[in-house]
Amino acid sequence: MLTPLTNKTAVISGIGTWVPEKVLTNDDLSKIVDTNDEWITTRTGIRERHIAAPGESCSDMAAKAGAAALRSAGADPAEIDLLVVATVTADHCMPSTACLVQPKLGLVNATCFDISAACSGFVYALDIARQYILTGAARKAMVVGAEKMSAILDWQDRGTCVIFGDGAGAVVLEAGDGASRGIVSTAMGSDGSLANLIRVEAGGSALPASVETVQNRQHFIKMEVNQVFKSAVRGMAEISEKALALAGIASADLKAVVPHQANVRIISAIAEKLAIPMDKVVLNLDRYGNTTAASIPLALEEAVRGGRIQDGDFILLVAFGAGLTWGATVIQWGR
């Protein structure tokens, strides 16, 4: 965690989301792979997910979420100094998706780059933007989590294709004075020795695209699901405790927890470890599935819009994903 150089805080002043129109239900999936609604619902909590249209890119979704966040913040696009897009489904290997979003939103004064931390991407990107704000390097920043997971799913692998969905969520972050609310603490971690647990094998410089990599289905996500499940519960519970300790508050002080929406069983196991009742936990994976870097802002926006999070409330964001990576953020909501 960064010790602030100034008395500034980093405050979320706007939030917006976007999901594609098309909905794919569990019943629809059962016509594609050997699965059924009962298995998916009881093992994951997911009932349906949104799937991008063929011509709808990650940057298109990111820009739509970003536009909504700008409106919510009442910010002028030219005021944004920094744009960080968290994604593992970038439009291209290069240029960055952030550089493609920039002209779509008219962020003419922003420094733009992507970060790759999979499902932890949004909390990682928020931490980066916060540090730009605290050091005075940026006055207003936009953080986007956007994914077109459907582009890297193997629709023949029932172990993974039923889990994920597409979407985007964005926030505008700005400097507040020392008395303002905002991000209170952040804690991040990684363990690259477990990099093989969630991976896309081909298409990078280690294994460039070839006829063989396509034939071997190596451009799709592969996951050791059971090991990931156990690591996710342990990782998210531990990093939450660390962020709460850094913030100097107890789990009982939290009004809401917004976890990465991977699996309702993972989320309830974490809530139990942290002694947080499930009615304080924001869940929307039944309608969106696991949208990787978009999952936390999609759930956060819904909770704010529904009035579950009010000015002054302490909330916890917590995520876990490929890398392995994990991270947690304590925020006192409001400007």
Number of Cβ atoms within 10 Å of the Cβ of 1: 16
Number of Cβ atoms within 10 Å of the Cβ of 205: 6
Measured torsion, CA atoms of residues 57, 63, 66, 70, in degrees rounded to the nearest 10 = -160
Tell me which of 58, 119, 263, 284 is the catalytic residue.
119
Site for ligand UT7 in 157-176 (CB under 6 A): 158-159, 162-163
Tell me which of 50, 58, 161, 260 is the catalytic residue.
260
Minimum CB–partner distance for residue 153 and ligand UT7 (Å): 12
- 178: DSSP letter: T
DSSP string for residues in 248-317: T--GGGEEEEEE--S-HHHHHHHHHHTT--GGGB---HHHH-B-GGGHHHHHHHHHHHTTSS-TT-EEEE
Minimum CB–partner distance for residue 58 and ligand UT7 (Å): 17
Interface stretch with ligand UT7, choices 85-93, 173-181, 183-191, 228-236 (CB under 6 A): 228-236
Q: Residue 111 is inside which H or E element, if any?
A: strand 111-115
Per rule CB under 6 A, is residue 234 in the interface with ligand UT7?
A: no
Per rule CB under 6 A, is residue 221 in the interface with ligand UT7?
A: no
**The total number of residues written for the chain in this structure:** 335
Classify 335 as helix, strand or coil.
Answer: coil
Interface stretch with ligand UT7, choices 88-96, 127-135, 156-164, 233-241 (CB under 6 A): 156-164
Nearer to ligand UT7, 88 or 110 (CB): 88
How far is it, in rounded angstroms, from Cα 296 to Cα 195? 22
Minimum CB–partner distance for residue 119 and ligand UT7 (Å): 4
Minimum CB–partner distance for residue 51 and ligand UT7 (Å): 16
Query: Is 226 assigned a catalytic role?
Result: no
Task: Please compute, for residue 22, the number of CA atoms within 13 A of its CA located in the half-sphere on the CB side.
Answer: 12
When binding is defined by CB under 6 A, the residue of 35, 186, 240, 325 that contacts ligand UT7 is 35
Per rule CB under 6 A, is residue 225 in the interface with ligand UT7?
A: yes
Interface stretch with ligand UT7, choices 49-57, 95-103, 223-231, 240-248 (CB under 6 A): 223-231
How far is it, in rounded angstroms, from Cα 138 to Cα 107? 13
Per rule CB under 6 A, is residue 39 in the interface with ligand UT7?
A: yes
Query: Is 290 assigned a catalytic role?
Result: yes
Interior CA angle at 61 toward 163 and 214, to 5°? Answer: 55
Per rule CB under 6 A, is residue 229 in the interface with ligand UT7?
A: yes
Query: Is 119 assigned a catalytic role?
Result: yes
Per rule CB under 6 A, is residue 151 in the interface with ligand UT7?
A: no
Size of the site for ligand UT7 (CB under 6 A): 20
* Closest C-alpha to 306, from 15, 13, 12: 15
Site residues (vs ligand UT7, CB under 6 A): 35, 39-40, 43-44, 119, 158-159, 162-163, 225-226, 228-229, 232, 262-263, 266, 290, 321
